[in-house]
Amino acid sequence: MIETIKNEFLSVSVKNHGAELCSLKSLKNNKEYLWQADPQYWGKHSPILFPIIGFLKDNEYIYQGNKYEISKHGFARDYEFQLVEKHDNMLKYIFNSDENTLKKYPFNFELYIIYTLNDEKLDISYEVKNKDNKQMYFSIGAHPAFNCNIYEGDKYLEFEEKETLDSYITNLKNGLMEKGKNPILENEKELLLTYDLFKEDALIFDNIKSNSISIRDDKTGEKVKVSIKGFPYLGIWTPEAPFICIEPWYGLPDTVDSNKQLKDKIGIEKLEGNKTFKANYQVEIIC
């Protein structure tokens, strides 16, 4: 099932499956800005990454002496969410842990995804509630893909502040992070988008000063602006396709030397019993 909300600026559609955003249209120009999941390249729009991001070493982790298996980017994107609240400008979804999730992730949780239209911005909020008394370990992140033809040579990433950024290095055989980093920006605000940037998979940054990053089209003057304030990591990715993903993350893929212990995982979030974690980002269409 797909739900749609609109205001005078934007139209937004969301699937129950994975609570995945599947359309983001500007009503100023009636243009679709979200990738429409062409399976020739990548058959998704904007999956939610939970309770891990990227790959685990050998697709497994250890918690309290037991081994569990989870595939790339976790399992939330593969489940049906329940719509629990709808207004003219808001959709709220829930995904509860159950006997199936407990087999691969031994924590009781509620995951809420909330989409809210606020003038020309779409706000996407995450709430993770730990329903256990014990500490919960998790990662969560966004993976929205925006239509963007890099071949034309006039698309840029534009940071709010001048940035000096090095990207984590990804092992192409197993998707894990290697030691060391590749320099990408040196006290600069913009980066020309080329497919060569992604020949070693996603760019993965930390220590970003900017509160937002935009995809800028110099031919049309359009921008897709994504707020990333509060997120410790940012992924940027394209598989040589006519889209670019801007991915604010709380968490990282495993490193090649990971000991597989969930509590030691790089970038892992720790949530005390019966507490709630909250995060949000915004997307603004400037046209």
Would you state the pLDDT for residue 252? 98
Contacts of 127 (CB under 8 A, 6+ apart): 110, 111, 112, 114, 276, 277, 278
Would you state the pLDDT for residue 128? 99
* Mean pLDDT within 87-111: 98
Q: What is the CA radius of gyration of the chain?
A: 18
The domain 2-286 having CATH identifier 1.20.120.1200: the answer here is no
Would you state the pLDDT for residue 51? 99
- Domain ranges across the chain: 2-286
* Mean pLDDT within 125-153: 96
Would you state the pLDDT for residue 87? 98
**224 exposure class (CB count in 10 Å sphere: 0-12, 13-18, 19+):** buried
Q: By the 8 A CB rule, do 15 and 274 touch? A: no
User: What's the CA gap between 128 and 274, in Å, rounded?
Assistant: 10
162: pLDDT strictly greater than 90 = yes
Q: Which DSSP symbol is given to 56?
A: P
151: pLDDT strictly greater than 90 = no
* Mean pLDDT within 270-287: 98
Would you state the pLDDT for residue 153? 85
User: What's the CA gap between 205 and 141, in Å, rounded?
Assistant: 14
230: pLDDT strictly greater than 90 = yes
Question: Which one, of 51, 73, 261, 71, lies nearest residue 138 by Cα?
Answer: 51
Q: Name the region of 74 (left: φ>0; alpha: ψ -120 to 50; beta: rest).
A: left
Would you state the pLDDT for residue 167? 98
277-59-234-42 Cα dihedral, nearest 10 degrees: -110
* 194 residue type, one letter: T
User: What's the CA gap between 253 and 54, in Å, rounded?
Assistant: 4
CB atoms within 10 A of CB 37: 15
User: What's the CA gap between 37 and 209, in Å, rounded?
Assistant: 31
Question: Which one, of 125, 131, 156, lies nearest residue 231 by Cα?
Answer: 125
Would you state the pLDDT for residue 69? 98
CB atoms within 10 A of CB 133: 9
CA-to-CA dists, residue 235 to 81, 124, 208, 242, 246, angstroms: 25, 17, 11, 17, 6
pTM over 0.95: yes
82: pLDDT strictly greater than 90 = yes
* Mean pLDDT within 215-229: 96
User: What's the CA gap between 89 and 53, in Å, rounded?
Assistant: 29
* Mean pLDDT within 93-106: 98
Q: What is the pLDDT of residues 168-182, one digit of tens each?
A: 999 999 999 999 999
Q: How confident is the model at residue 152 (pLDDT cuts 50, 70, 90)?
A: confident
Start-to-end CA distance of the chain, whole Å, equals: 30
Considering the chain, what is the average pLDDT of its residues? 97
* 211 residue type, one letter: N
* Mean pLDDT within 28-44: 97
CA-to-CA dists, residue 229 to 208, 233, 260, 282, angstroms: 9, 10, 29, 9
Would you state the pLDDT for residue 13? 99
**59 exposure class (CB count in 10 Å sphere: 0-12, 13-18, 19+):** middle
